[in-house]
C-alpha cells in the first residue's frame, strides 16, 4: 500500500494547525517530494519494549494503524516486522544505505557500553554479532534525526540504575558530536505515546523542536507536574490510596517536568496521581532514585 500523498498533506496541515505552529508550505512540499514516506528505523537496546508498546497505544494525534499505514515507513522494528533473521538484518542495512542521511533513528532502551557491549546483541550481520553499542555508533551518524525514546535511551533510566553493572549509557552520551542534528530526548517510563508520535511528525514537518537543557522538547517538558496538578490545592495526605496531594509523602511532582497532567495516559483514561499514587519522577534524568520516592527532610 502506497502512501496517499494528498491524505498525508491534509493530515499534516491539521496536525500543524492543532499545534498552532507556523506552516511552511514550501518546506512541507519539499519534504513530501523528497520522501513521500519518511523512513524510520527503530532499534531496541537494553530496555523492556515498554516504549514500543506505549507507542502502539497512541491515539493523539492519530492511531498506530494510521501512523504505520499512512504517515511513516517503518523500515526496521524488531517487534512488528515480518522479516526475521538474516532478511531482517538485511532490511536494516538496506534502509540505512538507501536513506543515508534521511532516516529517523529511534533508539529504545539504554546501551550497554565498554566491556559490557556484549550484554546486548541485536542480531548477526555476515556471521558477526552486532552489539547495540556498535549499531548505534554505526547508524546514528547516518541518520537525519536521532530520537531517544524513553528515559533509558535518554538518560540511562532503569537500565543504568545504580550500580549499573551492565555499563549502560544514554544515546546522547554515546553519539555526542556524531549526529547531524541534536539527539532528541523523549523522557518517560515509558515514553508518552503522544510525545513520541507527535515528535516524529514535528521532525518531519518542521525539524528539531526547541529543546531544554536535557535535550527534551520544551513544549512537553517545561512545566513541573505539581504546578499544574489538579490536586495542588487539595489537602496533603499521609499515605497513598487516599484522595489528596502527595507532596508530604515524597511526590516527585514538584521536581519533575512532564506533560502528564494534560496529556495523561492511554487515551486520557488515567495517570499516576489520578490513580492515587505519587508521581515517581519517571521523566527526570535522575530516575529511578533510591528510594524511588522519599520524604525530603525538613520541608
Q: Is there a catalytic annotation at residue 168?
A: no
* b/e per residue 251-278 (b: at least 16 CB within 10 A): bbbbebbbbbbebbbeeeeebbbbeeeb
**Cβ-based nearer residue to another protein, 44 or 186:** 44
Q: What CA–CA distance (Å, rounded) separates 58 from 48?
A: 18
Among 36, 267, 286, 296, binds another protein (CB under 8 A): 267
Among 31, 32, 44, 135, binds another protein (CB under 8 A): 44
Piece of 111-119, 137-145, 198-206, 228-236 that binds another protein (CB under 8 A): 111-119
Q: How far is the CB of 209 from another protein (least distance, A)?
A: 24
> Does the footprint of another protein cover residue 236 (CB under 8 A)?
no
Among 4, 98, 165, 222, binds another protein (CB under 8 A): 165
Q: Is there a catalytic annotation at residue 120?
A: no
| Backbone φ, ψ for residue 44 (5° rounding) | -105, 125
> Does the footprint of another protein cover residue 200 (CB under 8 A)?
no
> Does the footprint of another protein cover residue 46 (CB under 8 A)?
yes
> Does the footprint of another protein cover residue 266 (CB under 8 A)?
yes
* b/e per residue 150-186 (b: at least 16 CB within 10 A): bbbbbbbbbbbbeeeebbbbbbbebbeeebeeebbbb
| 3-class DSSP assignment, residue 266 | coil
> Does the footprint of another protein cover residue 2 (CB under 8 A)?
yes
> Does the footprint of another protein cover residue 296 (CB under 8 A)?
no
| 3-class DSSP assignment, residue 76 | strand
Among 9, 13, 23, 81, binds another protein (CB under 8 A): 81
> Of 48-67, which residues contact another protein (CB under 8 A)?
48-54, 56-59, 63-65
Separation in Å, CA 245 to CA 20, 252, 256, 275: 33, 11, 15, 12
Q: How far is the CB of 253 from another protein (least distance, A)?
A: 13
Report how many residues bind another protein under the rule CB under 8 A: 88
| 3-class DSSP assignment, residue 22 | coil
Q: What CA–CA distance (Å, rounded) separates 107 from 111?
A: 9
Active site residues: 48, 51, 152, 189, 226, 229, 245, 251, 260, 272, 279, 282
Amino acid at each position: 500500500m502506497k502512501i496517499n500523498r494528498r491524505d498525508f498533506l491534509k493530515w499534516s496541515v491539521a496536525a500543524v494547525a492543532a499545534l498552532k505552529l507556523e506552516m511552511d508550505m514550501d518546506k512541507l512540499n519539499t519534504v513530501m517530494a523528497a520522501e513521500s514516506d519518511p523512513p524510520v528505523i527503530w532499534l531496541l537496546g537494553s530496555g523492556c519494549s515498554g516504549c514500543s508498546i506505549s507507542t502502539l497505544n497512541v491515539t493523539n494525534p492519530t492511531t498506530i494503524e494510521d501512523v504505520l499505514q499512512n504517515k511513516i515507513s517503518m523500515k526496521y522494528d524488531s517487534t512488528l516486522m515480518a522479516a526475521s533473521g538474516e532478511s531482517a538484518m538485511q532490511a536494516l542495512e538496506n534502509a540505512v544505505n538507501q536513506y543515508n542521511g534521511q532516516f529517523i533513528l529511534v533508539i529504545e532502551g539504554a546501551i550497554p557500553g565498554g566491556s559490557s557491549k556484549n550484554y546486548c546483541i541485536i542480531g548477526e550481520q555476515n556471521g558477526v554479532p552486532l552489539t547495540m553499542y556498535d549499531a548505534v555508533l554505526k547508524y546514528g551518524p547516518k541518520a537525519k534525526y536521532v530520537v531517544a525514546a524513553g528515559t533509558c535511551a535518554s538518560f540511562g533510566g532503569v537500565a543504568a540504575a545504580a550500580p549499573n553493572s551492565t555499563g549502560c549509557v544514554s544515546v546522547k552520551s554515546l553519539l555526542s558530536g556524531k549526529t547531524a542534528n541534536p539527539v532528541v530526548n523523549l523522557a518517560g517510563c515509558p515514553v508518552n505515546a503522544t510525545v513520541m508520535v507527535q515528535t516524529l511528525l514535528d521532525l518531519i514537518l518542521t525539524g528539531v523542536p526547541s529543546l531544554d537543557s536535557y535535550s527534551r522538547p520544551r513544549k512537553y517538558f517545561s512545566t513541573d507536574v505539581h504546578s499544574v496538578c489538579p490536586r495542588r490545592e487539595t489537602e496533603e495526605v499521609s499515605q497513598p490510596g487516599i484522595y489528596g496531594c502527595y507532596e508530604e509523602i515524597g511526590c516527585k511532582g514538584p521536581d519533575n517536568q512532564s506533560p502528564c497532567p494534560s496529556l495523561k495516559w492511554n487515551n486520557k483514561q488515567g495517570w499516576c496521581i489520578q490513580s492515587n499514587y505519587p508521581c515517581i519522577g519517571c521523566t527526570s534524568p535522575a530516575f529511578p532514585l533510591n528510594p524511588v520516592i522519599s520524604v525530603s527532610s525538613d520541608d
